[in-house]
Structure 1
Amino acid sequence: MANPPAVTVCLAGNVGRYKSSLPVGQLLLRGIMAGAYIAVGAALCTVAGTGVAPLLGAGFAKFIGGAVFPVGLIAIVLTGMELFTGDAMLGPLSVLQGKIGWGKVLNNWLWVYIGNLIGSLAYAYIMVWGPFTQGALGAAEPNAFGLNAVAIAVGKTLAYKSVGSIGLWSCFLAAIGCNFLVNVAIMLGITAKEFIGKFFGIWFPIMAFVATGFEHCVANMYFLPTGLWITQLFPSLVDKSTKAADGTVTYWSPLLHKFGGLTWGDVWLWNIIPATLGNIVGGMIFVGFVYYFAFRNEFPEDLMK
């Protein structure tokens, strides 16, 4: 069973009103849990995708990661937690319907964003000092999962940095695509009336955004600090290389070697900031505004109160 599209848009506006009216303590608490849930999916994506590409190809490795990542958003939606990227659409949609003002939306965004960051960092700490190193901090390098975590972080920061301003634009566009799909998933979760419908309505768009390689600011609050911390624990990774018989040196991560490592400045400037802005545009404009103007003449009166 599913709600008609116009009803779904009205219900989404009501959800935005509810979320934007929560007190700061609730926004923080629920935001922390949502950040942790997204990090659960991101960590699982890292583990499940490790070593797949050389055996089955890069595309299948992406598919595997995308297939397991949605556990985070499914948990958030079904348990009522607060995710910045979802609120980037729900709050403005409620404003367009005349149910709240922009002040409440910005207040929601601020505290949920902070909560998401705290939850993501907490889970990243658990993974770095737990499964990705297994306590072997005196070893030459982390395990295979830790190495993959570093490779993901480098690909989401230094790859953009290496091409300059066009890298920022690329990250911004990838973030628009991400939150377009994330909020399609949110809409489908509201449309469906039963658990199984909500599950698959959320799963497919999230799988699509991860497998495609889009940028999600909250997921990256986990991915990037995880890779950064591992490089700090194992600084030899920066210059890790192999030398061929002819004397040619091949670095494990040429970008990591080129830039002398990964920094917090790289994390924020070359990913999280442009990804955040792109996520706002993707959710608010390409889903919230579009659905409002598509169905505003069909809204049921009883749901507009």
Structure 2
Amino acid sequence: MMIAFGASASNVAAHAVTNVGLSRLVAGCVFPVGLMMVVLLGAELFTGDCLMAMGNAEGACTILDLIKFLFVVYVGNFVGSILLVVVNVISGQLNYSSGLLGAYTIKVAMGKVNMSFGQALCSGILCNILVCAAVLMAMCARDIVGKLFACFFTIMLFVVAGYEHCIANMYYIPAGLIAARNQNYVQVAMDTYGYTADQLSSLNLYGFFVKNLVPVTIGNIIGGAVLGLILLYLHGYDKKKAA
């Protein structure tokens, strides 16, 4: 749910900014608060937990234990994200700026469900390299300020770059799916962003799960595991040399 809070706030902050680069920069300055809360509160985040591949490589856990743990965390993150989507919609948040936030929420979701498998996969890999780097740097920091800085700049980088994060997308896309059922938001999206009814039809559950969540999740797993294993090899090699 913490990442969903960051996603929700980033949409609010960026929805009225028309310049794409500036919009991403604004979102990038807000979104990292989600990971900051995860790190400081000791919550579990699927993408960060992909680093547990290091533990498996060292024999600290079996591959079955790793899969079970990641599955439980993934489901928990999904439930928390959907819960925040529902509460936000009921609260009327998407009505901000006469429905422009609802339209922007549709736009964000549309961009995600219309990526190719390869685009989503590669974007997911790059995203979780940065997320896991942020988690590792936060673990290395000795005080709260250091942990916050480690999270902020690295996560801001992935948001500005437009990479794909499966847990964040558990907020962005369901929020867009619900917003697309509101005719007022749909009309504002058509008027503001030039969408047609046929284009908006691609925003559906198939687009959410098959075209985005599956490839992005796979990419996130690859990115986190590869970073962790490379660092384990390099630092393990250094320790062996020192011994």
Question: TM-score, normalising length from structure 2?
Answer: 0.92
Matched, 1:197 2:128: no
Matched, 1:100 2:40: no
Structure 1 residue 131 displacement after superposition: 3.6
Residue number in structure 2 paired with 1:280: 221
The SS at the match of 2:5 is helix
8 Å CA contact retained: 1:238, 1:253: no
Structure 1 residue 50 displacement after superposition: 1.2
Matched, 1:207 2:156: yes
Q: Give a deviation string over 1:164-220, Cα, whole Å, max 9, x none.
A: xxx110111000010000000011001111111110011111000011000000000
Determine which structure has the larger helix proportion and give its number.
2
Q: How does 1:168-183 map to 2 (within 5 A)?
A: 168-183=117-132
Structure 1 residue 97 displacement after superposition: 1.8
Q: Which runs of 5+ in 1 are unaligned?
A: 1-35, 161-166, 243-249, 301-305
Q: State the alpha-carbon separation in 2 of the partners of residues 236 and 184 from structure 1.
A: 37
8 Å CA contact retained: 1:217, 1:272: yes
8 Å CA contact retained: 2:47, 2:221: yes
Give, as a single letter, the amino acid of the residue that structure 2 aligns with 1:51: A
Q: State the alpha-carbon separation in 2 of the partners of residues 220 and 144 from structure 1.
A: 20
Residue number in structure 1 paired with 2:28: 66
Residue number in structure 2 paired with 1:118: 79
Q: State the alpha-carbon separation in 1 of the partners of residues 145 and 193 from structure 2.
A: 47
Residue number in structure 2 paired with 1:146: 102
User: Is the deviation greater in 232-241 or in 259-268?
Assistant: 232-241
Matched, 1:78 2:58: no
How much is the aligned-residue C-alpha RMSD, in angstroms? 2.2
Give, as a single letter, the amino acid of the residue that structure 1 aligns with 2:125: I
Rg comparison, structure with higher value: 1
Q: State the alpha-carbon separation in 1 of the partners of residues 107 and 83 from structure 2.
A: 20
Number of aligned residues: 240
Q: State the alpha-carbon separation in 2 of the partners of residues 236 and 228 from structure 1.
A: 11
Q: State the alpha-carbon separation in 1 of the partners of residues 184 and 12 from structure 2.
A: 22
Q: State the alpha-carbon separation in 2 of the partners of residues 258 and 98 from structure 1.
A: 49
The SS at the match of 2:44 is coil
Q: How does 1:234-249 map to 2 (within 5 A)?
A: 234=183, 237=186, 241=190
Q: State the alpha-carbon separation in 2 of the partners of residues 290 and 261 from structure 1.
A: 38
Q: State the alpha-carbon separation in 1 of the partners of residues 107 and 236 from structure 2.
A: 45
Q: State the alpha-carbon separation in 1 of the partners of residues 64 and 136 from structure 2.
A: 23
8 Å CA contact retained: 1:238, 1:257: no
Q: How does 1:260-271 map to 2 (within 5 A)?
A: 260=201, 262-271=203-212
Give, as a single letter, the amino acid of the residue that structure 1 aligns with 2:31: F
Q: State the alpha-carbon separation in 1 of the partners of residues 142 and 111 from structure 2.
A: 39
Residue number in structure 2 paired with 1:46: 11
Structure 1 residue 132 displacement after superposition: 3.0
Q: State the alpha-carbon separation in 2 of the partners of residues 261 and 142 from structure 1.
A: 24
The SS at the match of 1:143 is helix
Q: State the alpha-carbon separation in 2 of the partners of residues 133 and 60 from structure 1.
A: 21
Give, as a single letter, the amino acid of the residue that structure 1 aligns with 2:223: G
Q: State the alpha-carbon separation in 2 of the partners of residues 232 and 203 from structure 1.
A: 34
8 Å CA contact retained: 2:129, 2:223: yes
1:294 corresponds, among 234, 238, 242, to 234
Structure 1 residue 96 displacement after superposition: 1.4
Structure 1 residue 133 displacement after superposition: 3.9
Structure 1 moving runs of 4+ over 6 Å: none
Identity rate, percent: 31
Q: State the alpha-carbon separation in 2 of the partners of residues 59 and 228 from structure 1.
A: 25
Structure 1 residue 102 displacement after superposition: 1.1
Q: State the alpha-carbon separation in 2 of the partners of residues 116 and 149 from structure 1.
A: 20
Give, as a single letter, the amino acid of the residue that structure 2 aligns with 1:80: G
Q: Which runs of 5+ in 2 are unaligned?
A: none
Pair 61,235 (structure 1): closer, same or farther in 2 beyond 3 Å: closer
